[in-house]
Structure 1
C-alpha cells in the first residue's frame, strides 16, 4: 500500500533520479519533474499530497512552485536545497514549508524526513466545520484551465526557457513574436502555449 503521493522536483537529473528511486522503494507514489513549469502542470493533474522541492532552478524556482501549490492547490510542500542563507530561510518560513532540508543528505536521511512531513501535512481527521466543509467542495483550481490570477505570461516564458534553453529575455521575445505572428494578445498566446504543453505532458493511453 502506498504511503502517499509525492511530487519531487529537482533540476539535477541525478539527484532527481536518486530521490525518486529511494522514495519509491520506501513505499511512496512518486511523480517527478526537473523544472518548475512541468512541476505545476503535474501537480494540477495528479494532485499530490506533498511536494519535495529544490529551490534554485532555471525558469520557475522552487519558491514559485511552492507559492502556486499553496495558493491554488493547497498542497503542502517541503524544500531540499544546498542553500541555507538567512534570506532563503526567511522565505521558506514565509511560504509555510512543512520542512526544510539542507543538502547534502542521503536518501536514508530524506525518507524519515518525508514521512514526518507527511504526518505534519496530513493530521488526523477532525469533525468538519462550516469553513472546512466549504473548502472541501470548492477546490481553488479545477479542470485544465490555469487560474486567471496566475501570471500566465511568466509561466509561458519559463516553459520556453526550459524547452529551448533560452535566457529569459530571449524567451520573452519569442513569446512576443509568436503572439504577433498568430494575431493574439501576449496573455492569450501564453495561455495557448501552456495549455499545449499540459496536453503533451499527459500520459498516453493504449
Structure 2
C-alpha cells in the first residue's frame, strides 16, 4: 500500500529540448530524484504530450528549430495550466527578462550539472505549486462570491414579490433548496432565470397590447 501511494504522488516533468544527450541527462537526474519524466524533441511534440495529460512542470529549451521555447511557453500559458521554466545556453539580462515576461517559474543556464539543477528545479516547482494554489483559491473565491451574489439577488426578489423581510425570504429559499435536495445557489439561479423569462414575456405581451390599441 505505501508503495502504491508513493508512486501515485510522483510529480511528472516534461523535458523539451532537441539535444538528445541533454534530455537523457536531465531525465536521469530527475528520475533519480524521484520524479517521472517525459521528453519531447520539439514544441509540436511537447504540445502533443501535454494534450494527452498535463505535467506538473515543463523544462523548455529556449532555442529550438521550428517552434522556439518562448513560442511554446506562450502556447502553454494561453492554452494550458502547465507551469514552465527555461533552459538557455545564454546567460544575459535580456534572456532573463524574456523568461520573466513569459511567466517562467525558473531559469537555468547550460551547461547544466546536477548540483545546480536540483536546487533551481525544486525552487521552480515550489513556485509553480504556489501559483497553482493561488489560482485554485481565486477560482474558489470567485465561485463563492458569484453564488453569494445570486443568492442575495434571489432573496431580494422574494422580498419584493411577497412583501416579506430578508430573514423570512432566506429561510423559505433555504427550506425549498433542502426539500429538493439542491444547493441554495442552484435554486437562486433557477429563480433568477425564471424571473428574467417572465420579464421577457411581460415585455412581449405589453408590445402586443400596445400594437392592438394603435
Same fold, TM exceeding 0.5?
yes
Measured against aligned partners, the alpha-carbon deviations of 1:105-141 in whole angstroms (never above 9, x if no partner) come to 212321222111111111284652126999xxxxxxx
Greater relative CO, 1 or 2 (CA 8 Å, sep 6+): 1
Q: Distance in 1 between matches of 2:36 and 2:15?
A: 10
Cα distance change of structure 1 residues 120 and 58 upon mapping to structure 2, 3 Å threshold: same
TM-score if structure 1 supplies the norm length?
0.59
Q: Who is 2:22 aligned against?
A: 15
C-alpha displacement of 1:62: 0.6
**Correspondence for 1:78:** 85
- Partners of 1:132 and 1:67 in 2: how far apart? 30
> Could you list the per-position Cα deviations for residues 149-168 of structure 1 after superposition, in whole angstroms to 9, with x for gaps in the alignment?
xxxxxxxxxxxxxxxxxxxx
1:88 to 95, 109, 117: 95
Q: Matches of 2:21 and 2:92 in 1, distance apart?
A: 24
Measured in 2, the distance between the counterparts of 1:67 and 1:11 equals: 18
Query: Counterparts of 1:133 and 1:103 in 2: how far apart (Å)?
Result: 46
Report 1:100-179 matches (<5 A): 100-123=107-130, 125=133, 127=137, 128-130=140-142
Larger radius of gyration: 2
TM-score (norm: length of structure 2) = 0.57
Supply the distance in 1 between the matched residues of 2:41 and 2:50 (Cα, whole angstroms): 13
1:51 to 55, 58, 67: 58
Gaps of 5+ in 2: 1-5, 147-214
Match of 2:33 among 22, 26, 37: 26
- Distance in 2, Cα, partners of 1:78 & 1:51: 6
Indicate which of 63, 68, 76 corresponds to 1:61. 68
Cα shift at 1:27: 0.7
User: Using the alignment, how far apart are the partners of 1:75 and 1:21 within structure 2?
Assistant: 22
Question: For residues 64 and 88 of structure 1, what CA distance do their matches in structure 2 show?
Answer: 14
Q: Deviations over 1:143-182 (max 9, x none)?
A: xxxxxxxxxxxxxxxxxxxxxxxxxxxxxxxxxxxxxxxx
Q: What whole-Å deviation, never above 9, does each CA across 1:91-113 have from its counterpart, x for those lacking one? A: 21210100011112212321222
- Please state how far the C-alpha of 1:84 moved relative to its aligned partner: 2.3
Identify, as 1 or 2, the structure richer in helix.
Answer: 2
